[in-house]
Amino acid sequence: MSDLENGTGGQHNREQTQQNLIEATGRVILRNGFSALGINSIASEAGVSKVLIYRYFGDLNGLLKAYVMSRDYLLSQGLDKLGNSEMPVAQLLKSVISEQIRHLRSNPELQEILRWELVVKNEVTDYVDQIREQQSVAMLEKLKKQYPSAEFDVEVIASLLSSGIYYLVLRSGTTSLFNNINIASDEGWSRIEKTIDSLIDLLLTLVMNGNKK
């Protein structure tokens, strides 16, 4: 009665059905975004009765909660690296940024979640919010402790960079040109990365000099 001792496989398997619904949710989101998301579309995508959504998840929000929690999209992007690594700071920061770009660009479902967060506020988006806020703030704290700067507002600079990346990636879903930059191609993004790298170098040397004085 407890967990996995059900051997039928096909039907009459609650866990499997739940998983099926969660993954169907992902597919519908991937196909149409959150706007066209609904009980009916998910149930039909899963090939299952929508009653089961209500029975197992309470309502659509419950299912979305389970869906979001089943994905670890925005977890541990180089958080552990920082502070434990042997790399020089500049290189470390660059790799964190580069990884963030790669991660976001290669995860369309995450992109849809971010779009959703821009439009809707509810308990599910609040949950996602909270996780990312925790993680990025923790990372920034480490950075600030190791490389304090009196002249530059590290939090704001990091936020502007992250936000810029966010927006450009999300925007690349509906257009390919932003200020003549091809945000839909790898070339465009390596151009962006390169520029961010030089910015990091520049700022970092300033911080170093400022600290030495």
Partner DNA sequence: TTTTGATGTTACCGAATAGTTACATACTTT
Partner DNA sequence: AAAGTATGTAACTATTCGGTAACATCAAAA
* Chain residues that interact with DNA, rule: CB under 7 A: 1, 5-8, 11-14, 16-17, 38-41, 47-52, 54, 59-60
Beta strand extents in 3-125 (DSSP E only): none
Nearest CA to 124 out of 6, 24, 25, 4 is that of 25
Longest dimension (CA), the chain: 72
**Is 23 an interacting residue with respect to its own copies (CB under 8 A)?**
no
In this complex, which beta carbon is closest to DNA, that of residue 6 or of residue 205? 6
Least gap, CB of 41 to DNA (angstroms) = 5
SS3 181: strand
Pairing state of beta strands 177-178 and 181-182?
antiparallel
Which helix (H) or strand (E) covers residue 81, if one does? helix 81-84
Nearest CA to 72 out of 128, 17, 126, 19 is that of 128
Stretch that binds its own copies, among 2-10, 11-19, 85-93, 179-187 (CB under 8 A): 179-187
Least gap, CB of 28 to DNA (angstroms) = 10
Handedness of CA 179, 183, 184, 186 (dihedral sign): positive
Among 178, 182, 184, 208, binds its own copies (CB under 8 A): 178
Among 71, 184, 191, 204, binds its own copies (CB under 8 A): 191
Least gap, CB of 147 to DNA (angstroms) = 49
In this complex, which beta carbon is closest to DNA, that of residue 40 or of residue 180? 40
Which of the listed partners (its own copies, DNA, none) does 99 bind, with a CB threshold of 5 to 8 Å by partner kind?
Answer: none
